[in-house]
Structure 1
Amino acid sequence: MKRSPQPTILVLLFVAALLLAPLFLPAFYVTLLNYIGLYAIVALGLVLLTGVGGLTSFGQAAFVGLGAYTSAYLTTVHGLSPWLTLPAGLLVTGLVALSLGMVTLRLSGHFLPLGTIAWGIALYYLFGNLAALGGHTGISGIPPLQFFDIELRSGREFFYLIWAVLLVIILATRNLLDSREGRAIRALKGGTLMAEAMGVNTPRSKIVIFTVAALYASIS
């Protein structure tokens, strides 16, 4: 049976609209689309975690902050290139998510979301009270990203980077869900007993999906 070309056409039209949008839209709407793209990256992690895996987390904002603070601190204090600090932010976020997940994901029912709220608030106050991170005012003087000889300063320049990353993450998420690990993650929503009866290593799958969702938040 032949596949309908309609989905491919719609995707191509969507990509074409993204390429043309910054050229015709006012700066306000370009900035708005940038925020939509950034929030969509975080939302994709929640789709995986809650929509597909059936797990609840209210701590994704903490992972956004963890990635941002790691990158900003290494850039401003140690003078590293922002492109080098982005992987460092992912590494730190991944390690923290792995550690928290191994403890928090042992909880079930209402205790799981309450646990994520607890460490989410704890990280918020930790960031706000560390003088090295600028306290509640944050870190200033962060240099702009530079792509070859082009400095990404305005919303129009950031637009293509944000939406390119979002499209890559969408493709990566689709490939993950179509993989063997993705099928195991899908089984989690039916309950731990049913998933384990199907041969799924539920603790491992929960850790994987929790860490991936945290990395998406850190990228954002």
Structure 2
Amino acid sequence: MNNRVFFIAFVVLLVALPVLPSPEFWITLANYIGLYALVALGLVLLTGVGGMTSFGQAAFVGLGAYATAVLGTRYGVSPWVGLLAGWTITGLTAYGIGKITMRLSGHYLPLGTIAWGLSLFYLFGNLDILGKYDGLNGIAPITLFGWTLDTGRKMYCLIWLVVVVCVIGLQNLLNSRPGRAIRALKGGATMA
């Protein structure tokens, strides 16, 4: 079967899945796939395109998720404002950690990212405000144009819309001047 036909069939199935009488497990699984695809896009950019090894991606995902959840549950912040705050907090933290970690090279870079990932994992698991290893409950659902996304089928559309937007954005980034600089990182700092 041709790759193009396979891709078109995949897109048709992706669009039709939430309206088909499919088991809820399939929707939940597709939601997890979409969320993990977002993380994988970041890894592809960093590792596959940039040539840098990172084992700390999950820590940044957790940081953004916890920031959004804490702002929503403890302080009553809107989920959309919480998402923006979570992205901002994660971005600033990643920038600060990156300034330190990017000075490492060779085997020290992956080891440094493992250390950051593990330290944030244990930090999240031991803070009472984050519910320790049990996590947080009572997170408000996102509302989009008056439509409450409180089920997996409703979240499905938002998750996959974000995945598609991020894939298009990543393709545009890689075809731009900064994208060529990211590709050049694979050849070494002198090439970039």
TM-score band by shorter chain is: over 0.9
Give the match for residue 17 of structure 2: 21
Asked which structure has the greater RCO (Cα within 8 Å, sep 6+), the reply is: 1
1:12 deviation in Å?
6.1
Shift in Å, 1:106: 0.5
1:168-183 equivalence runs, <5 A: 168-183=165-180
- 1:25-51 deviation line (CA, Å, top 9, x unaligned): 221111111111110110010000000
> Which position in structure 2 is the counterpart of 1:141?
138
- Normalized per residue, the structure richer in helix is 1
Q: Which runs of 5+ in 1 are unaligned?
A: 1-5, 201-220
Structure 1 distance, partners of 2:97, 2:80, is 26
Unaligned 5+ segments in structure 2 are none
Query: Residue in 2 aligned with 1:152?
Result: 149
* TM-score normalised by structure 1 residue count: 0.81
CA distance in 1: counterparts of 2:172 and 2:7, whole angstroms:
17
| Structure 2 CA distance for aligned equivalents of residues 99 and 155 of structure 1 | 35
Find the partner of 1:47 among 44, 49, 60.
Answer: 44
Structure 1 CA distance, aligned partners of 2:151 and 2:25?
11
Matched positions, count? 189
Deviation at 1:191, TM superposition (A): 2.1
Return the TM-score normalized by structure 2: 0.93
Deviation at 1:94, TM superposition (A): 0.5
Structure 1 residue 154, shift from structure 2 partner:
1.4
Q: What is the CA RMSD across the aligned residues, in angstroms? A: 1.6
Q: Does 1:123 align with 2:111?
A: no
Counterpart amino acid of residue 126 in structure 2:
N
What percent identity do the matched residue pairs reach?
Answer: 58
Cα displacement (A) at 1:18:
2.1
